[in-house]
């Protein structure tokens, strides 16, 4: 999944993401490596940021399986590179599909995976985090330059969710893939 642990250091946290398909994912992974070379990126949009579980992993998987079946696939359209000032996280904003991601977050943040978020949920694609405050503006400038040079599509389909766990040696590991119920509906 990448480097993000929702501000927490440690292992055993869980998240729910949707991976971005190639060729956009390949470009985003390379972009992230240029900005944060110590990452092991896997381009995604997060639906449930990293969190501990309130019940067993099996219980959480069963609940997510049931809830995810209620969602339709949809398109996400990406916008500009921005900065979360309070955390110095550099990200790409989500334009189209943001309301669907917020709805998913609200409806899925329940039961075994329910967690009081330390920040308001804001759909985005993380590009760089945990960088020195002194280098944020230069990294932001570089991120904007690299993103503006991308000639390909800035959209991707959310057709499957992945329940992932942060493990000590392996990093983020996929536990469960949850296909969404129907064909993608286009977001304008």
pTM for the whole structure: 0.89
Average pLDDT over every residue of 76-81: 98
Query: What is the C-alpha to C-alpha distance for residues 79 and 76, in angstroms, rounded to an integer?
Result: 10
Instruction: Note the pLDDT of residue 170.
Output: 79
The pair of structure tokens assigned to 48 is 């449930």
Query: What is the C-alpha to C-alpha distance for residues 136 and 130, in angstroms, rounded to an integer?
Result: 10
- Cβ-defined contacts of 82-87 (< 8 Å, 24+): 82/124, 83/136, 83/140, 84/119, 84/122, 86/119, 87/7, 87/119, 87/129
Instruction: Note the pLDDT of residue 186.
Output: 52
How many CB atoms are located within 10 Å of the residue 116 CB? 6
Average pLDDT of every residue of the chain: 91
Which phi and psi (to 5°) does residue 91 adopt? -150, 165
Query: What is the C-alpha to C-alpha distance for residues 170 and 157, in angstroms, rounded to an integer?
Result: 27
Instruction: Note the pLDDT of residue 188.
Output: 44
In this prediction, residue 3 has a pLDDT band, given cuts at 50, 70 and 90, of low
pLDDT-above-90 percentage for the chain: 82
The pair of structure tokens assigned to 79 is 């916008």
Query: Is 46 in contact with 157 (CB distance < 8 Å)?
Result: no
- Tens of pLDDT along 22-65? 999 999 999 999 998 888 899 999 999 999 999 999 999 999 99
Task: Compute CA 21 distance to the chain's CA centroid, rounded to the nearest angstrom.
Answer: 13
Instruction: Note the pLDDT of residue 79.
Output: 98
Residue 175 has pLDDT above 60, yes or no: yes
Instruction: Note the pLDDT of residue 45.
Output: 98
Which one is predicted more confidently, 23 or 181? 23
Residue 107 has pLDDT above 50, yes or no: yes
Task: Name the CATH code of domain 14-179 (choices 2.40.100.10, 3.90.1140.10, 3.30.930.10, 2.115.10.20).
Answer: 3.90.1140.10
Strand partners, 75: 157
Q: Would you list the domain boundaries of the chain?
A: 14-179
Residue 7 has pLDDT above 60, yes or no: no
Instruction: Note the pLDDT of residue 38.
Output: 83
In this prediction, residue 75 has a pLDDT band, given cuts at 50, 70 and 90, of very high
């Amino acid at each position: 999944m990448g480097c993000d642990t929702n501000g927490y250091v440690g292992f055993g946290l869980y998240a729910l993401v949707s991976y971005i398909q190639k060729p956009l994912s390949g470009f985003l992974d390379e972009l992230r490596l240029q900005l944060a070379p110590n990452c092991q990126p896997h381009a995604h949009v997060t639906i449930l940021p990293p969190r501990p579980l309130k019940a067993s992993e099996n219980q959480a998987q069963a609940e997510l399986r049931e809830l995810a079946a209620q969602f339709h696939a949809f398109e996400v359209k990406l916008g500009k590179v921005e900065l979360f000032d309070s955390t110095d996280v550099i990200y790409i904003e989500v334009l189209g599909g943001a309301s669907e991601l917020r709805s998913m977050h609200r409806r899925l943040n329940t039961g075994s995976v329910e967690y009081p978020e330390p920040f308001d949920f804001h759909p985005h694609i993380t590009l760089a985090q945990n960088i020195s405050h002194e280098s944020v503006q230069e990294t932001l400038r570089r991120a904007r330059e690299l993103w503006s040079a991308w000639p390909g599509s800035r959209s991707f389909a959310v057709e499957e969710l992945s329940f992932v766990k942060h493990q000590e040696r392996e990093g983020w590991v996929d536990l469960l893939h949850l296909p969404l119920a129907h064909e993608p509906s286009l977001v304008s």
